[in-house]
Amino acid sequence: MTTPESLDLGDSGSALWTALTELVDFDVHETSLLTEACRIKDRLDALDVIIRAEGVTVTSPQGVKAHPAVVEARNQQLTLARLLASLRIPDEDDVRPQRRGAARGSYSRKV
């Protein structure tokens, strides 16, 4: 069984892994997507540390521009959102789970 520790996840990635794996039974390919989402969550924490320490802008010969860590954080946030959306997590009440385009149907929450 895969655990956050076996994946070497940080605090945020482990919390995301635990929260979602307690909620949904994932297939192998979905576990890979979840793993990447958790790694991105940890990466966002690391980028946040840099941004807090160095600020959101940098000065270059061309003028003031966004700090590279801000730009990368934005890219990572978009990727995280796409990965999580691709996992098709059911809503809190399991009333309207998101539909899948394939023949599998939608997930059900663990009971």
Asked if the model's pLDDT at residue 8 lies above 60, the reply is yes
Lookup result for tokens 């941004």 = 51
57-60 and 63-66 strand pairing: antiparallel
* CA-based nearest residue to 16, from 65, 70, 64, 87: 87
Asked if the model's pLDDT at residue 96 lies above 50, the reply is no
Confidence of residue 92 (pLDDT cuts 50, 70, 90): confident
Domain extent listing, the chain: 11-87
Q: Residue 59: helix, strand or coil by DSSP?
A: strand
- Best-predicted range by mean pLDDT among 1-10, 32-41, 101-110? 32-41
